[in-house]
Chains A and B, each alone.
Chain A
Amino acid sequence: MSATTAEKSVTAPTLRVVPGTLRGAGRMVERSILVYRRTWLIIVSGFFEPLFYLLSIRIGFGALVGDVQTPNGPVDYAVFVAPALMASSAMNGAVYDSTMNIFFKLKHARLYETVLSTPLGPSAVAVGEITWALMRGVLYSVAFLGCMAALGMVVSWWALLALPACVLIGLAFASAGMAVTTYMRGWNDFEFIPAATLPMFVLSATFYPLSSYGGLSWVVQLSPLYHGVALVRAACLGDGSWGLLGHVAVLAVMTVIGLRVASRRIGTLLLT
């Protein structure tokens, strides 16, 4: 084998997105289901978190703040914040699954090393893990929407479109998170992840309208979560407009870049 074939063996598995990849990704999902079947209680208990957040918004802030002025008229504060919390929860879930979880399997459990000793390749690993993260994300989003409906915070059937919006948020952040994780040197580096997600959580027009930021509103628009919040909020309030496609585009670009970096890096990390 010459040097050129050696190169090929590194790049080939990431380029070959053939049905084999999808079948392999299916196996990765199968494993996750096998593991989580035992810990379903943890997943179910995760549904309480949105309930707690929504309740505290309803009980506490709702009374203190009253209505919020939006371009389409005044909206009850709880109804205004709930979609933003739904979008943030989609982000947090995707980031957790694609950073801590993946790093653990990469460095400690060495799961991917095991998997790569079988016919499965790195792209099957990347696609499979992101698929699983999205499946969980959808489950949580459905629960979130259910809680909102139960608490009377949903005002339109368009709210169902919040689900695909959350899938897109999850996809964008899971891809980016996975790409970032491949550069992590140790657990200490993970402390910097909240340093990115926490300011985003509070400063993405989550708790008050973009107009409140005044001259700094362009900074807010740099946050990818802002675009997610805008989508979910528009769906929940039934405020459709063509401008929403711009938000979709931002998240789509983030997904594509994240996925490309992630599958290339997983290949170079594990197949050296």
Chain B
Amino acid sequence: MPVIAATSVHKSFGDFEAVRGVDFEVARGEFFGFLGPNGAGKSSLMRMIGCVSPTTSGELRIFDLDPGVDGAAIRARMGVVPQTDNLDQELTLLENLVMYGRYFDIPRRECRDRARELLEFVQLADRADSRVEPLSGGMKRRLTIARSLMNRPELLLLDEPTTGLDPQARHVLWERLYRLKEQGVTLALTTHYMDEAEQLCDRLVVMDRGRIVAEGTPRGLILEHSTREVLELRLSSSAPDDIAERLAGTGERVEVLPDRVLVYANDGEAALSSVHQLGIEPLASLVRRSSLEDVFLRLTGRSLVE
């Protein structure tokens, strides 16, 4: 039995269609990702899964229950980390966790025990009695995650968990999430960072303008939709307009972006030497492995982070 099952789920706000019919299933214990740029419909989908936004049409089942009927029962088994932290500014860190646990009707003593344990887990135990306001962005994020774990959820929803965090804070957060995986928690997250999706997700869907455009494992999607390597060229701004046609033979595919040109080839170094043979001298060049960014570019013709 899948933890989440969606069949042609739609969501409209007036005339605007945020989600235009998506189908997917998330299995127990799986880390499942929704990858896409801002406005792809990820957050709308997350709110529907979180039972705080009714679907416009289609069928959505969570724990094999209907969010429209059993919203409260579903939310009792789920943890939610919203896109922007909505911590209780009037309470201390510890009180934030305790009070949140109380909303689930967990006995006060039990709440306090869990809260201490979770503050330990997200490395904020020494700040237990501090207010939320002076915390850094990364600390607030960790506290929000700790809060979402108060009810020992079977399913954790993370909406853009690391947006706005510095690289170090992101890695701390990822490491904590791996530990949850070891404990068997199912995780659904949205992100517009391809590295985050590659690192965290067992399986993901790529979303664009309210639709799912591809589904698979990170590795599988890259193999399917991109070459093994990519050659990135930075050319002088006076490069001729027909550069794409001139480079056509150097790789399987050429993409011209505003700031650089991408040549898709299984052997990047070989592609670079054929560029040189054509008499084109780039200002800079780089050979790297294909990423989900390339998959997204291929599928939508647009880049992920604008």
Contacts and interface: CB of A to CB of B under 8 A. Distances in A.
A1 B68 CA distance: 8
Contact of A109 (B55, B66, B88, B102): B88
A74 interface: no
B104 A118 contact: yes
A129 to B, nearest CB: 14
Interface residues of B, number: 38
Interface string A109-120: 111011111111
Contact of B57 (A3, A27, A30): A3
A117 B105 contact: no
A121 B76 CA distance: 12
A50 interface: no
B220 interface: no
A66 interface: no
Interface stretch (B33-41, B89-97, B115-123, B289-297): B89-97
Nearest to A31: B99
B251 interface: no
B91 A34 contact: yes
B43 to A, nearest CB: 12
A12 B73 CA distance: 14
A111 to B, nearest CB: 6
Nearest to A111: B88
A13 interface: yes
Nearest to A8: B68
Contacts of A12: 68-69, 71
Nearest to B102: A27
A10 B53 CA distance: 8
- Identify the interface centre among B54, B56, B105: most chain A CB within 10 Å of its CB: B54
B72 A20 contact: yes
B82 interface: yes
A117 B52 contact: yes
Contact of A120 (B54, B68, B103): B103
- Identify the interface centre among A7, A114, A121: most chain B CB within 10 Å of its CB: A114
A109 to B, nearest CB: 6
A9 interface: yes
B254 interface: no
B60 interface: yes
B103 A115 contact: yes
Contact of A1 (B55, B73, B90): B55
Given A5-B68, A5-B69, A118-B103, A271 B53 contact: yes
Interface in A81-122: 109-111, 113-121
A110 B83 CA distance: 12
A22 to B, nearest CB: 12
Given A118-B103, A272-B53, A111 B91 contact: no
B58 interface: yes
A150 interface: no
The 4 closest A-B pairs by CB, nearest first: A9-B68, A118-B103, A110-B86, A9-B54
16 contacts: A1-B67, A6-B56, A8-B69, A9-B51, A27-B105, A31-B102, A34-B91, A34-B99, A35-B91, A113-B82, A114-B88, A118-B103, A119-B72, A119-B104, A121-B72, A272-B53
